[in-house]
Chains A and B, each alone.
Chain A
Amino acid sequence: DAGVTQSPTHLIKTRGQQVTLRCSPKSGHDTVSWYQQALGQGPQFIFQYYEEEERQRGNFPDRFSGHQFPNYSSELNVNALLLGDSALYLCASSLWVAGEREGEETQYFGPGTRLLVL
């Protein structure tokens, strides 16, 4: 059973460039969340995708956008890169649980993509 996978593992870009990160969820999961983790900090929620739509969003500018495909995989796009965008980008997948237990689903994280902006 494959867990959450992400690509690439490492990436170096320069200011102003654009980047696309990819994530494949754990088998059986339908929801993908993206996080940014700066060194020494906890993960910061960027957004979450379910049924190919952005369902929730954290406090990140519109430069951060995403997409979910019919096979539940997802992409994170960041435009006009800034030095401050250098971080570990984590993807987490989960299975959406409706009803009384909505919001209780456990998220499983991928290994992350380490982005360095020069």
Chain B
Amino acid sequence: GQNIDQPTEMTATEGAIVQINCTYQTSGFNGLFWYQQHAGEAPTFLSYNVLDGLEEKGRFSSFLSRSKGYSYLLLKELQMKDSASYLCAVVDDTSGTYKYIFGTGTRLKVLA
């Protein structure tokens, strides 16, 4: 089966660092995406990992461990505008097809 777990909510302070974890179970893994979604808006692409390790992109970094079925999104120097939901999505390639399986999202609140 397929399962993706993320914390439902997190709270952090402006200027701080926050780490949002994602664990997954899939029959066939072909990459992991992180998306940001502000309330009432469409998800926007943040990062993609298919190999183990850390991918850094400005204030945002994403890490993947395929053997552990684990990823995290690291947000540094938090700003108020980072308050949003963060969606972890796994590409499952069971049976030669590619399906994007999303987690329920982590709602991050950044406080002044």
In the bound complex, residues from chain B placing their C-beta under 8 Å from that of A90 are: 42-43
| Max chain B C-beta neighbours (<10 A), residue from A35, A42, A104 | A42
Give A35 to B89 CA distance when docked, in angstroms: 13
In the bound complex, residues from chain A placing their C-beta under 8 Å from that of B98 are: 48, 56, 102-103
In the bound complex, residues from chain B placing their C-beta under 8 Å from that of A110 are: 42
How would you classify the secondary structure of chain B's contact residues: helix, strand, loop or mixed? Answer: strand
Known contacts A56-B98, A104-B30, A106-B33; decide if A41 and B104 are in contact (CB<8 Å).
yes
A107 CB, nearest partner CB in chain B, Å: 7
> Does the CB pair B42–A42 fall under 8 Å?
no
How would you classify the secondary structure of chain A's contact residues: helix, strand, loop or mixed? Answer: loop
For this complex, 18 residue pairs linking A to B, each with C-beta atoms less than 8 Å apart, are A41-B104, A42-B105, A43-B87, A43-B102, A45-B99, A45-B101, A45-B102, A55-B97, A102-B98, A103-B30, A103-B91, A103-B98, A104-B48, A104-B50, A104-B91, A106-B48, A110-B42, A111-B41
